[in-house]
Structure 1
Amino acid sequence: MDSNDWDGRYAGSAELVWTAEPNRFVVEAIADLAPGDALDLAAGEGRNAVWLAERGWRVTAVDFSPVAVARGREFAARRGVPVNWRVADVTADAIEPNRYDLVLIAYLHLPPAGLATVLAGAREALRPGGTVVVVGHDRANLDGGVGGPKDPQILLTPQAVVAGLTGLRGVRADTARRPVTVDGATVEALDTVVVATRPE
């Protein structure tokens, strides 16, 4: 899907498409970190960015959908927190190196070359001691979970993400189960979760 497709998807919903709650794995990974400068890549409507800002992080949120960014600005304003919003393509827009204490990539699904570019940028954007958190639909979800894209080429694995974060120290890299409700029943989605830090 390109930015126009996502514009249409966001514009077609009166409510937030992804809810106002942050992702559970993002919360787990970040809850104990001291607030600093954070970059949320492919932030969508900003559920994670706003949660971070509410906890004292100075957040820059980037998405290539102008409609998503507009909705994110409105959401942050309703919650009374500052978020620096930017419309940009995370696969092409340069990221300032050594700038952030946290880089978040949540549910960004790209072909391998695009993912490698984004991971390399995220790695370089970290300050010493900074943390990168990557969460997304795992390739195992095709056979063992629910939801998410159906193209295996854009689904994640912990191994592929770790390979794109060379030089960082791994804190977590696994396939995690996430309960979701479908037609009134609780089922599970499978997500790749990778947390890594840049050595001091």
Structure 2
Amino acid sequence: MDNRAWDDRYADADLVWGAEPNRWVARETGPLPPGRALDLAAGEGRNALWLAGRGWRVTAVDFSSVGVERGRRLTAEAPAEVGGRVTWVCADVLAYEPERGAYELVLLSYLHLPAGERGPALRTAAGALAPGGSLLVVGHDTTNLTEGTGGPKDARVLFTPADVLADLAGAGLEAVRAERVLRPVPQPDGRTVDAVDALVLLRRPAG
């Protein structure tokens, strides 16, 4: 999917993903002491603004100009002490070159790319980690196609925790967590169905 498709999607709705942070981002990053964070494929900024509210200085990157503009507007509407901690960048993560070794947290939340593009994007993200920094990768697991709900229907852009670990082999990171997790999704008929997500948390050794 190209940026024009995402521009259209963001233009058609108020907030595509809502205002609350992703549950796994909140769970895994909540205990971390704030520092510099890089949110790649940030969308409208729900995770970036949540992190900023917890004291992080966040660089939020997305290739949709509509999504970035909405994120900037939400940032401007946030309390000054929160909005002042978020910097927006409109760029494709496949071409974006973040400052190396500069971030205590790098986040890729539901960035779905073919395997040949996912690996380079993950390695670029890993290169931006400071010593002691954490890399959190969350997305729709491959098994979500048959066992879950929602998400992309193209298996080529889905991944498993093992895929992420293989992509980052040799990047000098230590795996903290690599697992499939179930995310409850309310349905129009009042039922709740679980989506299957892949969650990988890695850390660069401090010394």
Q: Percent identity?
A: 55
Shift of the alpha carbon at 1:165? 2.2
Structure 2 counterparts to residues 138-153 of structure 1, below 5 A: 138-153=141-156
TM-score, scaled relative to structure 1: 0.98
- Which residue of the partner structure matches residue 164 of structure 1? 167
Give 2:105's match in structure 1, choosing from 98, 102, 105.
102
- Which residue of the partner structure matches residue 3 of structure 1? 3
Q: Deviations over 1:18-38 (max 9, x none)?
A: 000000100111011000000
Shift of the alpha carbon at 1:164? 1.9
* Counterpart code for 2:62: D
SS in 2 for 1:176: strand
User: Is 1:154 paired with 2:157?
Assistant: yes
Shift of the alpha carbon at 1:185? 1.0
Give 2:201's match in structure 1, choosing from 186, 190, 195.
195
Structure 2 counterparts to residues 57-96 of structure 1, below 5 A: 57-80=56-79, 81=82, 82=84, 83-96=86-99
User: Is 1:182 paired with 2:187?
Assistant: yes
Q: Deviations over 1:119-143 (max 9, x none)?
A: 1001110001000000000000001
RMSD: 0.8
Shift of the alpha carbon at 1:156? 1.4
* Counterpart code for 2:36: D
- Which residue of the partner structure matches residue 122 of structure 1? 125
Instruction: Give the Cα separation in 1 of the matches to 2:23 and 2:77.
Output: 22
Instruction: Give the Cα separation in 2 of the matches to 1:2 and 1:28.
Output: 30
Shift of the alpha carbon at 1:162? 1.1
Shift of the alpha carbon at 1:78? 2.0
Instruction: Give the Cα separation in 2 of the matches to 1:73 and 1:150.
Output: 30
Stretches of structure 2 that go unaligned for 5 or more consecutive residues are none
Deviation >4 Å, runs of 4+: none
* Counterpart code for 2:60: A
Instruction: Give the Cα separation in 2 of the matches to 1:79 and 1:185.
Output: 34
Q: Deviations over 1:79-107 (max 9, x none)?
A: 22221000000011212111100000000
Higher mean Cα deviation, 54-63 or 166-175?
A: 166-175
Stretches of structure 1 that go unaligned for 5 or more consecutive residues are none
Aligned residues: 199
